[in-house]
Amino acid sequence: MHVPDGFINAPVSAAAGVVAAGAVAVSLRGARRELDERTAPLAGLVAAFIFAVQMLNFPVAAGTSGHLLGGALAAILVGPYTGVLCISVVLLMQGILFADGGLTALGVNVLDMGITTTVVAYALFRGLVGVLPRTRRSMTAASFVAALVSVPASACVFTLIYWIGGTTDIPIGKVFTAMVGVHVLIGIGEAVITALTVGAVIAVRPDLVHGARGLTAPLKLRVDGELVDAPARQPVAPVAARSTRGIRATGLVIALVLAGFVSFYASASPDGLEKVAADQGIDKKTEEHAAKDSPLADYGVKDVSDARISGGLAGVIGVGATIVVGSGVFYVVRRRRTPDAPVGTPRTGKTV
């Protein structure tokens, strides 16, 4: 759902940019409460993973595809403030390096794909977690529903922005019906990807999932053919002190494989917004991208003729650039550890 230049007029694009910049500024402050020296690199990995999965367009209807937006996944894994920053970093890399999503429309895209999906998904996720049993299965189910709803919510926000500042005169009812209809289908794919990812991480390291904090899964023992809770025992080391190297390495390898290899097999059909724009005439005033001559434009390496190699290299470069920029941002805004405090210990004092 990357909005290109020319869909939305300049005043509304500028206003959206101001709102998005304000939200990013708030998120930079909020992320300080969510990140520490252990989780900052993981947040960079989440951004890179979302970049990689966004390259995997999946078919949703005849001649239409969809891709992960990622707001729900980021918010649940690393927190809502950090989630907004993750999606913002991804959109910035895509716009500058790959000419995907207009540069003048960057604020629209951050507001639409980043802020809306993150806020809606995390609010719904927390609401569901509050009424469901605090189990791994409930967390996974809540992430599914939150991700599912976040995508048509994003479509609604785009429709509202288009109604205010669209450059073409298309009946808003037609735009709303088409956008929400196709993005409900895309939301199903988003929900499946989000639930599978959240469920997988919770299964191995629930302590690293922001939305699963406080979730405990007691050890089960089989006694006389029945599963019973094992006696409570003191852990050898605090969970917060456990290394994250293993999951970071695994996540990075998965992101590189998805972007560098699996992306070649992604659907080539236009995504939901592109399809609706072409069918309804929203794209009549689309402008050329300022980065159209980028050596990585359209997710291919310039002068590399083999499509598989070109796309794979572009994907790997994108993952690398996203994780470097993202990790750098998150490392700067992270919560500093106080002397003699173990990693992961909440900061109690205030800095001046």
Spell out the per-residue pLDDT of the chain, length 352, in tens: 899 999 999 999 999 999 999 999 999 999 999 998 889 999 999 999 999 999 999 999 889 999 999 999 999 999 999 999 999 999 999 999 999 999 999 999 999 999 999 999 999 999 999 999 989 999 999 999 999 999 999 999 999 999 999 999 999 999 999 999 999 999 999 999 999 999 999 999 999 999 988 665 455 556 666 766 656 555 444 444 578 889 999 999 999 999 999 999 999 999 999 999 999 999 999 999 999 999 999 999 999 999 999 999 999 999 999 999 999 999 999 977 655 555 455 444 443 3
| Domain ranges (residues) in the chain | 10-215+240-333
Q: Which residues pair with 221 in a beta bridge?
A: 228
* Amino acid sitting at position 84: V
Phi, psi of 228 (to 5 degrees): -130, 155
- Between β-strands 220-223 and 226-229, what pairing exists: parallel, antiparallel or unpaired? antiparallel
Distance of CA 26 to the CA centre of its chain: 18
CATH architecture of 10-215+240-333: Orthogonal Bundle (1.10)
User: Angle at the Cα of 301 (from 63 to 287), degrees rounded to 5?
Assistant: 55
* Amino acid sitting at position 18: V
Residue 255 token pair: 């992101």
- Lookup result for tokens 């990693």: 343
- Lookup result for tokens 């700067």: 332
